[in-house]
Copies of this chain bind each other. A is one copy, B any other.
Amino acid sequence: MRYNVLAMDDNFTLYKTMLVIRRFEERLLSEFSTGKIVGTTHAYIGQEADAAGIFSVVDTEDVVFSNHRCHGHFLAYGGEAYQLAAELMGKASGLVGGRGGSQHIHWRNFYSNGIQGGIVPIAAGMALAEKERNTGKIVLVFIGDGTLGEGSLYESMNIAALWKLPILFVLEDNHYAQTTPVEKAVAGSMSARFTAFGIPVWERETSDVLEVRSLAMEAAASARSGTGPACLILHTHRFSAHSKGDDPRSPEELARIHKIDPLTIHGLRLATEEFPRAASEVAEIVNNAFDRASLDPFPELCSEY
Q: Is A6 an interface residue (CB 8 A)?
A: no
| A140-155 contact mask (Cβ, 8 Å, vs B): 1 or 0 | 0000000011111111
The A178-201 residues at the B interface (CB cut-off 8 A) are 184-189, 192-193, 195-199
Q: What is the interface of chain A mostly: helix, strand, loop, or mixed? A: helix
Q: Is the CB of B153 within 8 A of A151?
A: yes
Q: Is A161 an interface residue (CB 8 A)?
A: yes
Q: Is the CB of B184 within 8 A of A188?
A: no
Task: Report the bound CA distance from A188 to B157 in whole Å.
Answer: 10
Contacts of A185 in B (CB 8 A): 158, 162
Contacts of A154 in B (CB 8 A): 151, 153-154
A198 touches which of B148, B150, B188 (Cβ 8 Å): B188
Contacts of A152 in B (CB 8 A): 151
Contacts of A158 in B (CB 8 A): 148-149, 185-188
Contacts of A189 in B (CB 8 A): 196, 198
Chain A contact patch, size range = 20 to 34
Q: Is the CB of A187 within 8 A of B198?
A: yes
**Contact A199:B188 (CB < 8 A) given known A151-B152, A151-B154, A154-B151:** yes
- Chain B: CB-nearest residue to A228: B187
Contacts of A149 in B (CB 8 A): 155, 158
- Chain B: CB-nearest residue to A121: B151
Contacts of A195 in B (CB 8 A): 188, 192, 196
Task: Report the bound CA distance from A65 to B161 in whole Å.
Answer: 30
| A15-42 contact mask (Cβ, 8 Å, vs B): 1 or 0 | 0000000000000000000000000000
Task: Report the bound CA distance from A189 to B198 in whole Å.
Answer: 7
Question: Which of the listed residues A149, A154, A155, A159 has the most CB atoms from chain B within 10 Å of its own CB?
Answer: A154
Contacts of A187 in B (CB 8 A): 157-159, 161-162, 197-198
Contacts of A161 in B (CB 8 A): 187-188
A193 touches which of B162, B184, B186, B197 (Cβ 8 Å): B197
Contacts of A162 in B (CB 8 A): 184-187
Q: Shortest 7 CB-CB distances between A and B: which pairs? A: A151-B151, A161-B187, A188-B198, A192-B196, A154-B154, A188-B197, A196-B196
